[in-house]
Amino acid sequence: QVQLVESGGGLVQPGGSLRLSCAASGSRFSIINSMAWYRQAGKERELVATITSGGSTAYADSVKGRFTISRDNAKNTVYLQMNSLRPEDTAVYYCNANIKIDDSWGTYWGQGTQVTVSS
């Protein structure tokens, strides 16, 4: 019904930048509310940044001032601009969206994209 497809991960040197994208697609969803990026380097998945449908944002303390979340509602796409990357940012990054299909809201996840920060 709904697919979230991430792209933009890869290998980058410390201090470098990457931009992640996540596009939502499907035939029946009508509203996308909040969208977010999470990351997982070990056992636990960590919230990185969130953005509401109105554009309000929030960030984990570890990425404030370095990462920027944005969205294009016309394209059903959320972005994560990551600057000044550090080795500790290495993780699989997942996008997440709260989406209404027919009369029900649900939370959906992308498949993940690997980000590796290393010299």
Please tell me the distance from the alpha carbon of residue 56 to that of residue 58, in angstroms, as a whole number. Answer: 7
Long-range contacts of 65-72 (CB under 8 A, 24+ apart): 69/35, 69/36, 69/37, 71/35
Tell me what pLDDT residue 31 has: 84
pLDDT category, 1, cuts 50, 70, 90? confident
Is residue 6 over pLDDT 90? yes
Write out pLDDT tens, residues 57-101.
Answer: 999 999 999 999 999 999 999 999 999 999 999 999 999 999 988
Q: 2 or 83: whose pLDDT is higher?
A: 83
**Tell me, what's the pLDDT at 32?**
87
Do the beta carbons of residue 34 and residue 98 sit within 8 Å?
yes
